[in-house]
Amino acid sequence: MPVAQLLVFVAIGGLAGVLSALFGIGGGVIIVPALIYWAGFDQHLATGTSLAVLLPPVGVGAALAYYRQGEVDVKAAAIIAVSLLLCAWLVAQFATRASGSHLRLLFGIFVTLLGVSLVYDAFRQLR
């Protein structure tokens, strides 16, 4: 692996780690776009790689730190994890067959709506 590519992957991991710890985000919002724009991955490869990346560090690192502070509802986490597993598997059957352009469009719409919602709510709370 070339050093430049290694540094890109290290930067993506570092950025995702910082933002994951601060805001609880990482995979779809940080890693996927970074792999597409910084590493030249296509949509499917970026999505699959992001899913593989998140298994060990998120499941162990940051979650353990929050658990030690009493900030994890284990029952809720288990229920959500099982639902996530089932739904992710089902939707992956569709997503792997969809075009990268369609997935990118859906992702862009999702992130835009999420951003508008967050900004609107923040302005309401500032009043």
Domain count, the chain: 1
Who contacts 13 (Cβ-Cβ below 8 Å, separation ≥6)? 53
State the Cα–Cα distance between residues 34 and 19, nearest whole angstrom.
Answer: 13
pLDDT tens sequence across 31-71: 889 999 999 999 899 988 888 888 776 667 778 888 999 99
What is the model's pTM?
0.69
The mean pLDDT of 97-116, rounded to a whole number, is: 91
Answer for the pair 87, 72: CB distance below 8 angstroms, yes or no. Answer: no
Task: Give me the domain span that covers residue 88.
Answer: 3-126
